[in-house]
Amino acid sequence: MDVQEFNSLALDERVAAVWRQGTFLGSRTRGGYRLALYHLGAFFCELWYCPKSNGIVLASGFTDTRLLEAYLGGIELPNV
């Protein structure tokens, strides 16, 4: 599946695809949401979790690696 096909799926189908095929890479917070970054082979996906509604409200696939910069602060490279 490519990123266009992924983004054309319904939200629940995108979330299911991430659970099945995604590799968790990191997380961050933004505006009261908890974002989780996953790698799905040819693209990345952010899942937006809303604590108020206790659910995922957005699953957005992307290929632009500049969007990964927000996660760089959470990466630790011990004794490199």
Is residue 7 scored above 60 in pLDDT? yes
* Confidence at residue 78, expressed as pLDDT on a 0 to 100 scale: 62
* Confidence at residue 72, expressed as pLDDT on a 0 to 100 scale: 85
What's the domain range around 50? 3-64
Domain contains 73: no
Domain contains 16: yes
Domain contains 71: no
Domain contains 10: yes
Kindly report the length of the chain.
Answer: 80
Domain contains 69: no
* Confidence at residue 74, expressed as pLDDT on a 0 to 100 scale: 72
Domain contains 26: yes
- How large is the average pLDDT for residues 5-21? 98
pLDDT tens-digit map of 21-77: 999 999 999 999 999 999 999 999 999 999 999 999 999 999 998 999 998 877 665
Domain count, the chain: 1
Domain contains 38: yes
Cα–Cα separations (whole angstroms), residue 72 to 2, 28, 40, 53? 24, 10, 18, 28
